[in-house]
Chains A and B, each alone.
Chain A
Amino acid sequence: DSGVTQTPKHLITATGQRVTLRCSPRSGDLSVYWYQQSLDQGLQFLIQYYNGEERAKGNILERFSAQQFPDLHSELNLSSLELGDSALYFCASSVATGEGEQYFGPGTRLTVT
């Protein structure tokens, strides 16, 4: 157990819908990262927040957005969902930003039908 929690574990929804994925970092970690992993694919970095502020952006679609709240938990919002958005979404956390270790949560499996 990495100490990073994610909810829900599974999510099934229809095209065009909007969903929110939630992540709580390890105690003491200030940075949260979101990754997308499609079937048999690698990990694609989406976005990073550090202490409430957006710090880095990767290949995140405009239909996706995220935020980090004062209690440091983070939410990833996915809207106008398409079949291709079906994937595992992982959240990771680290103590700070920079070259620190990132610890991954168990992931949310999103299925868009």
Chain B
Amino acid sequence: GENVEQHPSTLSVQEGDSAVIKCTYSDSASNYFPWYKQELGKRPQLIIDIRSNVGEKKDQRIAVTLNKTAKHFSLHITETQPEDSAVYFCAANNNAGNMLTFGGGTRLMVKP
């Protein structure tokens, strides 16, 4: 089945700096890659996703890049703010398209 690895597990940045979180996946048939943000004790919230027919997608301060050949994708957050502090999860769908395998999560801390 699909295996998703996520790095780093923790990331501390200064407010205003950029943050990058990287994920690799194993199933070459995966074609959907969402990113979720989870604040403490709350539900995961979908913040951005990318499908395999594009290499990059942006939404204001966040962007996601996908390299299908290398089977990795990354989340980029620019001009970080304290409210960006949370755990971020990447995920990839399986070859049947009907389930997501999540990475282990990255705890992002943005210091004011």
Q: How many A-B residue pairs have CB under 8 A?
A: 57
Does B51 interact with chain A (Cβ within 8 Å)?
yes
Q: Which residues of B contact A43 (CB under 8 A)?
A: 44, 89, 91, 102
Closest A residue to B102 by beta carbon equals: A43
Q: Which residues of A contact B34 (CB under 8 A)?
A: 101-102
Does B54 interact with chain A (Cβ within 8 Å)?
no
Task: Identify B99's interface contact among A56, A90, A104, A105, CB under 8 A.
Answer: A56
**Interface bracket on A:** 20 to 34
Report the Cα distance A45→B77, complex, angstroms. Answer: 27
Q: Which residues of A contact B105 (CB under 8 A)?
A: 42
Report the Cα distance A99→B29, complex, angstroms. Answer: 12
Is A97's CB under 8 angstroms from B97's CB? yes
A interface list, Cβ under 8 A from B: 2, 31, 33, 42-45, 48, 50, 55-56, 58, 90, 97-107
